[in-house]
Amino acid sequence: MPIIYINVLLVFGIGIVLGYSVLVLCKLSKVGNYKIRIGLALLIGIITLYFQWSAYIGYLINEGSHSLESYINSLGWIFYDSIEKEVLVELYHYGAYEVFNTQVTDYALFFIWLIEAAIIIAIPILAVFRYVPLPISGTYNKFYDQYTLEKDFRSLGSGELTALRIHEGPAAALQEFEGGKANRHSKIKIFYLPQESKQYLKAENISIQRGNESKTAVDVIVKYLEISTPQAKELLETFRNRKDGFQLL
């Protein structure tokens, strides 16, 4: 396999690992603010990119015998005249690999470097945008406890209509919903923290492939709908439920 293809796979792999790492870090440190999460993702992406280049250039300089100590000592190469900068310039002019028997150099190589950098930085940021963090109490600096209603409700329709109907009276509305099928139903989750004035409800449609329970599709219909504390308490008192354990993501 050509080196450039290996590079592409490695770059995407690094980006995905960074994306999950940022989400886990934000979860463990209880960071719910999107601006902070995006800033953290951007910072980690840039730092990783710099460390990656430092390791690669050091590997070339030391012909594969780069030690951890020499790597750490060379991390400040970008701030002064160094052999690492000279190697980087040589890489730019002479290239490091070929594509279709043509050496990739100058602007073409620089363009590839930009794409690689964009992937490593963008994937963690996209992960932050796509992932909706679990509700966090800013006042008490703790996560809401998560409860899942044990009843399997019928599959729900439009998210907006469902949200409107439930918001008018969550317990009464859910009591009107018919039970779902074993392989197609919806689950309701309540995020409850008694000392807070607002709580949250989440609804998911679950589809299980017949004969293969490992193939389960989850479609979020209502995502963190804000409800009042009395409404949440009424739901938990009306329906049998179980308290879910800690979730990393």
* Structure confidence by residue, pLDDT tens digits, 47-71: 999 998 998 888 888 876 767 777 8
> Of 106, 130, 154, which one is at a domain's C-terminal end?
130
Asked if residue 218 and residue 168 are part of one domain, the reply reads yes
Check whether residue 78 and residue 189 sit in a common domain.
Answer: no
Strands (E), the chain: 98-99, 102-103, 136-137, 142-143, 145-149, 184-192, 198-209, 212-228, 241-243
Say if residue 7 is in the same domain as residue 28.
yes
Together in a domain, 52 and 112: yes
> How many domains is the chain built from?
2
Do 114 and 181 lie in one domain? The reply is: no
143-193: per-residue pLDDT in tens? 999 999 999 999 888 776 677 777 788 898 888 888 988 889 999 999 999
The CA-atom distances, in angstroms, between 74 and each of 1, 48, 144, 236 are 31, 15, 45, 58
For residue 248, being part of any structural domain is answered with no
> Are 108 and 225 found together in one domain?
no
Evaluate whether residue 229 is within a structural domain: yes
State which of 103, 130, 157 marks the end of a domain. 130
Claim to verify: residue 178 and residue 93 sit in the same structural domain = no
Note whether residue 121 is domain-resident.
Answer: yes
Buried b (16+ CB within 10 A) or exposed e, 31-67: bbeeeebeebbbebbeebbeebbbebbbeebeeeebe
**Same-domain check for residues 97 and 166:** no
Instruction: Kindly tell me if the per-residue pLDDT of 237 is higher than 60.
Output: yes
Domain that holds residue 82: 3-130
Same domain for 26 and 103 = yes
pLDDT band at 98 (very low <50, low <70, confident <90, very high): low
Q: Which of 130, 145, 175 is the last residue of a domain?
A: 130
* pLDDT interval class at 1 (50, 70, 90): very low
User: Does residue 82 carry a pLDDT above 80?
Assistant: yes
Q: What is the four-CA torsion angle of 52, 58, 59, 61, rounded to 10 degrees?
A: 150
